A = this chain, B = another copy of it.
Amino acid sequence: MIVRYERIAHVQERMREQGLIAIVVLNHDDYRYLFGEDRWQPRALIPFQGAPELIAFTDEEPELRAAVADGRVRVFGSVGGQINDIVGRIRELVAEGAAAGIPPGASGRPRVGMQMWFQTPAFLVDLFRHVNPKVEVVSSDPVMDALRMVKDPEEIILMTEAQRIAGVGMDRARELLRPGVTAQEIAAEATYAMMRAGAEGTSTPIFVNFGIETCMLHGRLSPRPLERGELVLVDLTPQVGGYCANLARTFVLGEPDSRQAELLAAYREIVAAVRAAMRVGITTAQLDATAKEVCAGHGLAEHHVYGIGHGIGLRFEEPPASTIIPQHRSLPLLENMTVTIGHPVLAIPGFGGARFEDVYLLTAAGPEILFDYPIDPIIAS
């Protein structure tokens, strides 16, 4: 475990600015970001000042203590007594925060932050509220997002490696495309290829969809074997060191018909146009407008869907999360953000859809693709 004291110091500085006496970490991504590794049930507390505090089970204590041998991490050890420990610690922090002049929230109660995203369990937040009635639970996202949206060189190395590994998986998926292959077989082989190449797993299930199921925004594995002439959509999300890749490609098994060809050509053009438009300061809404224009040029404007890209990092979808949080569509992109382009399916309902998704690092000079995987959709059959 390599505790990231510099990152924690930045977090604490922002906590004091924004008036949080503590952040309770319950999520893999924040835990990785701050403590440099993962646990099955990551649990930690970041006070507004002083050493971060890991929350551990008794059996884990010796190993965690050894891993943070510099003694700057406090470990709560008692099984079953964790809730009491936390209540007691929050009570101390309420007093320390008042003494340090940390202002309370609108309710008059001191504020404690928690990540408000898909992996924060509602019942734990409600339990925390119930046992700590004198504090107000607020989102820690305004503290964390600004730091995590902008990647440092070490993060970009891991993300590039993850994206390279996604390419290994896509190579394997592509070579399996033939009549009769199943989505399950493609998923098994691509997962294996990616894990052999060093992925620790995938951040989402693998998506392999055939034919009409390529319309499904979030379908999983098509249930029936691939047939000649069908569209195939493969979406791979391997992780390396917790960092997520996202590589999606659409193929057609054999010569595309005119509608398939139109979808594939349109998406290729969308990607090119959006890449050309990407620069520091632009918003996803503006990039969506570019994408929509291309769709219109192909007579597909009615099928255009907003949310051409999203932030990616230790979470598969993270700010700017234009497809989840409408306000993020107007967030200007910053230097050293990592964003995907190619998220929405361009689909003709009842027929099929296409997308080509890659991850880009935004630099002052424009977007740099993290790993340049070819767009080469036609599979001879």
Residues of A whose CB lies within 8 Å of any CB of B are: 38-41, 57-63, 79-80, 114, 116-126, 139, 184, 187-188, 191-192, 195-196, 198, 200-201, 204-207, 212-213, 215-221, 305, 326, 345, 347, 349-350, 353
Contact = CB atoms under 8 A, between A and B. Distances in A.
Contacts of A349: 58-59, 61-62
A121 B141 CA distance: 14
A212 B347 CA distance: 52
Contacts of A59: 215-217, 305, 345, 347, 349, 353
A198 B182 CA distance: 11
Contacts of A347: 59
B200 A60 contact: no
A333 B59 CA distance: 28
A119 B117 CA distance: 11
A57 B139 CA distance: 27
Contact of A121 (B38, B122, B198): B122
Given A39-B220, A122-B122, 6 more contacts: A60-B216, A116-B123, A121-B122, A122-B126, A187-B195, A201-B206
A44 to B, nearest CB: 14
5 smallest CB-CB distances across A and B, nearest first, come from: A40-B218, A188-B195, A116-B123, A192-B192, A122-B125
A163 to B, nearest CB: 19
Contacts of A116: 122-123, 126
Contacts of A353: 59
Identical copies of this chain, number: 2
A138 B198 CA distance: 43
Contacts of A117: 121, 123
B350 A39 contact: no
Contacts of A139: 123
Nearest to A192: B192
Contacts of A191: 191-192, 195, 201
Nearest to A58: B349
A326 B82 CA distance: 13
15 contacts: A38-B220, A40-B219, A59-B216, A62-B349, A63-B213, A63-B215, A80-B326, A118-B124, A120-B122, A122-B126, A187-B201, A191-B191, A191-B192, A191-B201, A192-B192
A345 B58 CA distance: 12
Nearest to A199: B188
A358 B156 CA distance: 41
Contact of A204 (B40, B198, B216): B40
